[in-house]
C-alpha cells in the first residue's frame, strides 16, 4: 500500500508496471490542500528575503517553525544567519550524517529547538506535533513539493500557517502552484518593513515575440492548401 499527499504521473506509471489492476482511493482532488492551513504570499526582492524572514519571525507568535530552502548550502547559510541573530535554529539536509539528522530532529520534535531550516528532505514523512508555521524561503519549482511542504503543519486537528517569500523571478512557480491547488493565494505585506520597490509585472508577450518573426499564421476558420 502506498500513501501520499500527491501522486506524480511518473509514480503512477511505475505502479502499473509492477502491479496488476491496482486500486486507487482518493479522499480529495489532486492538489487539494488542507483547510486547516492558512496560506499567504510575501512578495519581496531577493536581497531582502533574509531580513523579511527575520522580521516575520520576530513579529509573529510562532511555536515551532519549519523553513524550507531549495539547496543544502542555502539551508546552512540561512541557519547560520538566524543563529547569529540569537534564534534557536538547526539545519536539516542530506549532507548531515544519520546521527546529526537524528539529533537535530529530536531537538526539534521535543521543543529544544524552535526553528528548523531544511531542504525538501523534510517535506515528506516528517510528523511533528504542534508545528505552528511552515515558511517557504524559496518557492519550490515542483508544484507537488509545495503541497507536501505546507502539509507539515495543520495536522492532528490543529491549525497552521504557511508563508511563502516570493521574489519576482519566482512568480512563474507561484502561477503553476495556484493552478495546481485550484486557488489564489493571498498576497500580504509585513507592516513597517522597509520594502524595496518591486518591478512591475511583465507584460504578456505578443504573438510575434512568442512565435518569431517568420512564423506563418493560419487565420481562424481558413485553411491553405
Domain parsing of the chain, residue ranges: 38-190
Confidence at 203, pLDDT banded by 50, 70, 90: low
What confidence category does residue 19 fall into, taking pLDDT thresholds of 50, 70 and 90?
Answer: confident
- Higher-pLDDT residue of 85, 220: 85
Reported for 182-189, long-range contacts at CB under 8 A and 24+ positions apart, including other chains, are 182/29, 182/31, 182/32, 183/33, 185/39, 185/40, 185/41, 186/39, 186/40, 186/41, 187/40, 187/41, 187/42, 187/43, 188/40, 188/41, 188/42, 189/42, 189/43
The confidence score (pLDDT) of residue 134 equals 94
**pLDDT at 217 exceeding the cut of 70:** no
Q: Model-level pTM?
A: 0.76
CATH topology of domain 38-190: Rossmann fold (3.40.50)
Q: Can you give the pLDDT at residue 20?
A: 80
Average pLDDT, the chain: 83
Q: In this predicted structure, what is the pLDDT of residue 196?
A: 87
Whether the predicted pLDDT of 162 surpasses 80: yes
Given a cut of 80, is residue 106 above it in pLDDT?
yes
Question: Rounded CA gap, 142 and 146, in Å?
Answer: 7
Can you name the residues that pair with 116 across neighbouring β-strands?
66, 90
Exposure class string for 140-165: b at 16+ Cβ within 10 A, else e: beebbbbbbbbbbbbbeeeebbbbbb
Average pLDDT over residues 67-73: 93
Between 13-17, 64-68, 69-73, 104-108, the lowest mean confidence (pLDDT) is in 13-17
Q: DSSP code of 142?
A: S
What is the reported pLDDT for 197?
84
**Span 38-47, mean pLDDT?**
95
Mean pLDDT computed over 96-123: 87
pLDDT digits (tens, 9 = 90+) for 145-158: 898 898 888 766 67
CB 152 within 8 A of CB 122: yes
Q: Give pLDDT tens digits for 112-148.
A: 999 999 988 765 666 677 788 999 999 999 898 898 8
Amino acid at each position: 500500500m502506498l500513501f501520499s499527499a500527491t501522486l506524480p504521473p511518473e509514480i503512477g506509471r511505475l505502479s502499473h508496471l509492477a502491479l496488476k489492476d491496482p486500486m486507487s482511493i482518493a479522499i480529495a482532488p489532486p492538489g487539494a490542500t488542507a483547510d486547516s492551513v492558512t496560506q499567504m504570499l510575501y512578495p519581496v526582492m531577493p536581497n531582502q528575503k533574509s531580513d523579511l524572514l527575520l522580521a516575520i519571525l520576530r513579529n509573529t507568535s510562532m511555536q515551532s517553525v519549519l523553513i524550507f530552502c531549495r539547496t543544502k548550502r542555502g539551508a546552512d547559510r540561512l541557519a547560520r544567519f538566524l543563529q547569529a541573530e540569537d534564534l534557536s535554529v538547526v539545519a536539516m539536509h542530506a549532507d548531515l550524517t544519520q546521527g546529526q539528522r537524528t539529533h537535530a530532529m529530536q531537538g526539534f520534535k521535543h521543543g529544544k529547538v524552535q526553528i528548523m531550516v531544511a531542504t525538501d528532505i523534510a517535506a515528506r514523512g516528517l510528523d511533528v506535533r504542534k508545528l505552528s508555521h511552515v515558511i517557504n524561503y524559496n518557492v519550490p519549482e515542483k508544484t507537488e513539493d509545495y503541497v507536501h511542504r505546507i502539509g507539515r503543519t495543520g495536522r492532528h486537528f490543529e491549525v497552521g500557517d504557511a508563508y511563502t517569500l516570493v521574489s519576482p523571478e519566482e512568480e512563474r512557480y507561484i502561477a503553476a502552484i495556484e493552478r495546481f491547488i485550484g486557488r489564489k493565494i493571498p498576497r500580504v505585506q509585513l507592516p513597517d518593513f522597509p520594502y524595496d520597490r518591486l518591478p512591475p509585472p511583465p507584460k504578456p508577450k505578443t504573438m510575434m515575440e512568442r512565435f518569431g518573426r517568420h512564423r506563418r499564421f493560419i487565420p481562424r476558420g481558413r485553411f491553405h492548401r
